[in-house]
Amino acid sequence: MSLFSHPKFFAVYTKPDADLLVKPPVLVREGFNIWAFFLGAFWTLYYRLWLASFFILLFNALLIYAGRLELLTESSLGAIQMGFQFLVGLEASGWREAKLRRKGYVLTDVT
User: Cα–Cα distance between 32 and 38 in angstroms, integer?
Assistant: 12
CB 19, CB 108: distance < 8 Å: no
Task: Return the bridge partners of 27, or none.
Answer: 12
List, in sequence order, every residue forming a beta bridge with 13; answer none if it has no partner.
26, 107
Helix (H) or strand (E) holding 34: helix 34-39
Mean pLDDT of the chain: 92
Q: How far is it, in rounded angstroms, from Cα 64 to Cα 40?
A: 16
In tens, the pLDDT along 14-71 reads 998 877 677 889 999 999 999 999 999 999 999 999 999 999 999 999 999 999 999 9
What pLDDT score was predicted for residue 2? 57
Single pTM value for the model: 0.86
